[in-house]
Homo-oligomer: A and B are copies of this chain.
C-alpha cells in the first residue's frame, strides 16, 4: 500500500505530512495528516485523532494548535479524513450523512456498504499505513477525537482494547443510539435492527463494563449548542459509574463546539496521552 506525500511542512521543529494512500477497506484513496516530532529518531508513541461531521484531515491539522504541545511531549499525531470520498462513492445532501460523516462504523446497508467501512479503515489500513511509513511505535498507540470523532475514539478504543492503550474525547456523541445524529446515521449504515447499533454506542459499552479500570478523559463545553440534544455527557457519567470506568469528565464553562474550544484544551489531552503511552 504505497503512500503518496502530497504536502510536507516543518512545524514546531517536527514534520507534518499530508498523505494519500489506497485503502482496501473503503476501496478508495484516503487521506491523512501525520505529525512526527523533531528531535528523537523514534519510534514515537502516537495518537490517532478522529474528526467530527463535515471535517476532512485538514481541520484538526490547521486549527487545533496541537503540534507545539505534541513536540514538547514527544507525541506523534495522525489525523485521517472522516469518510471515503469521490464520484463513485455514495453521498447524501445532508451534512450529517455520507461523505464527511462516516461515523467510524462498517456500513452493512446499501448504498453505503461498498465504501463506508471506516471502522476497518481506521483499525487496519490506517494503522498499517502509518506504521509502515513513519517511525511510530505500535505498542504505544492512543486515540482521541471530537464530536462524531469523540464517539469514534471511545467506541474504537473499547471495541479494540488491544489496539489503543489510551483514549480521550472532546464533546463526544456519547450515545448515538439515543440522539438524532446517531440514530439517523446508524439506521442508514447499519439498518433498522437496533441490536446491531448497541455495539457502537460508547455509553452502552461502558455500562456493560467494557471500559472497566480504563482511564478516559472527556472535555465538554458548557455553552455547546449540541450538548443536550446530541452529546449527552450525563449518560457517559452514569455509565462509567455502572460499568466501573475511570472517567474524568470536565465541563468547561462557556466553551462551545468549535475548534476554539478544542485548541483551548488540546494541550491537556496531548500531555494526558503522552504521560500514559
Contacts and interface: CB of A to CB of B under 8 A. Distances in A.
Contacts of A221: 10
The 9 closest A-B pairs by CB, nearest first: A65-B65, A11-B260, A9-B260, A10-B254, A12-B264, A10-B255, A62-B63, A11-B264, A9-B258
A20 B67 CA distance: 31
Interface string A213-232: 00000000101000000000
Contacts of A259: 62
B256 A9 contact: yes
A257 to B, nearest CB: 10
A233 to B, nearest CB: 18
A208 interface: no
Contacts of A223: 10
Interface in A18-66: 62-63, 65
A260 B67 CA distance: 9
A11 B63 contact: no
Contacts of A67: 260, 263
Interface in A227-277: 254-256, 258-261, 263-264, 267
- How many copies of this chain? 2
Contacts of A12: 263-264
A68 B13 contact: no
Interface centre among A13, A68, A255, A267 (most CB of B within 10 A): A68
A16 interface: yes
Contacts of A63: 62-63
A65 B261 contact: no
A184 B84 CA distance: 43
Contacts of A62: 62-63, 259
A51 to B, nearest CB: 15
Contacts of A16: 260
B68 A261 contact: no
Contacts of A9: 256, 258, 260-261
Contacts of A13: 264
A16 to B, nearest CB: 6
Contact of A261 (B11, B254, B263): B11
A101 to B, nearest CB: 22
Contacts of A256: 9-10
A11 B263 contact: yes
Contacts of A258: 9
Contact of A263 (B68, B254, B255, B264): B68
Contacts of A264: 10-13, 68
A62 B9 CA distance: 18
